[in-house]
Amino acid sequence: MSDYQHVPVLLKEVLFYLNPKPGQNIVDATLGGGGYTEEILQIVGNKGKVLAMDLDKDALENAGKSLSKFKNLTLAHGNFARIDHIVKSHNFPAPDGVVADLGLSSYELDQGGRGMSFQKQEILDMRFDQSAETEDARWLLKNKSEKELTKIFSDYGEEKFSRQIAEKLKQLGHDLKYTTDLYQIITDALPKPVKHKANDSARRIFQALRIAVNHELENLEAFLPKAFDLLVPGGRLVVVSFQSLEDRQAKQFFNGLAKGCVCPVEFPQCVCGQTPRAKILTKKPVSASELEISRNPRGKSAKLRAIQKI
């Protein structure tokens, strides 16, 4: 798995907001290519510990080789939505920091054979964990109704022509096998004036399918409160997202923790007794610099948000 490479986006910014120190315990909830994990390991030193998890066994296999010199690294196969169970099962201490990079690695997109990119012919799978007996993209396209597909494409891809694409898929009524088959249907479904923008629609549809297949938003919703609760007082949670739905989810969760009182505005005084549980470290999401984007174009849509537990 030496091809498993992933240029970590916003690495300098992640390290600044995560602020790991020698001797601390850090969880990398999305190992990927191991870029964050390796830097964090070097900072926390021999007296610190790092737990890195991933759904993708290829990522874990790669890290087992490339990071083998670090004896204070624990690798775990699992969904970050179960971060509490994974931390407990590995007897890992309460973390001083947790980081999650919600983007795909270059390997998953380009070389993983998962059918996540429409730019090459691959089987329509899209599962992060191909060892799991779960429904893949082909199953979803075959078994979901036109109405359900329209909702998936609209909600998760924010695609303007979701209904037309879903209708075309169901009209054809045959099993799709390859990414190129789906791309052709997307192109055929678009009105003539916008067919030249088929790549944009395909990108949104492929994203929507991937999110649906892997239950990404549901997993993020489960992960955020669990990761925050695990932190020691003063611990930090850093999330790097690559699409608006995930960024909005992180923003709303962070704002809720920092808000405190949830009484209606018409109440003369607080009766809920709720106090802020976190301090927001990023008033606005942090984006990649022009220099970083020029070196790694996939960083263009990255947004970093961070909070500190009170």
Q: Which of 155, 37, 28 is nearest to 97 (CA)?
A: 28
Residue 179 has pLDDT above 50, yes or no: yes
Residue 264 has pLDDT above 50, yes or no: yes
Residue 259 has pLDDT above 70, yes or no: yes
Q: How far apart are CA 176 and CA 139, in angstroms?
A: 9
Element (H, E) at 155: helix 146-157
Q: Which residue has the tokens 């990079």?
A: 101
pLDDT for res 2: 46
Lowest mean pLDDT: which of 27-36, 152-161, 237-246, 265-274? 265-274
Burial of 232 from C-beta contacts in 10 A (0-12 / 13-18 / 19+): middle
Q: What is the DSSP letter of 286?
A: B
State the number of CA atoms in the 13 A half-sphere of 123 facing the CB.
Answer: 8
Q: Which of 19, 77, 85 is nearest to 48 (CA)?
A: 19
Residue 148 has pLDDT above 90, yes or no: yes
Please state, for a pLDDT cut of 90, what percent of the chain lies above it: 78
Q: Which residue has the tokens 């010199």?
A: 69
Q: What is the pLDDT of residues 211-256, one digit of tens each?
A: 999 999 999 999 999 999 999 999 999 999 999 999 999 999 999 9
pLDDT for res 131: 73
Q: How far apart are CA 189 and CA 18, in angstroms?
A: 45
Q: Which domains does the chain have, with CATH numbers?
A: 11-104+218-309 (3.40.50.150), 108-214 (1.10.150.170)
Q: What is the pLDDT of residues 64-121, one digit of tens each?
A: 999 999 999 999 999 999 999 999 999 999 999 999 999 876 556 666 678 888 888 9
pLDDT for res 101: 95
Element (H, E) at 97: strand 97-101
Q: State the chain's mean pLDDT as an integer.
A: 92
Helix and strand numbers (H, E) in the chain are: 13, 7
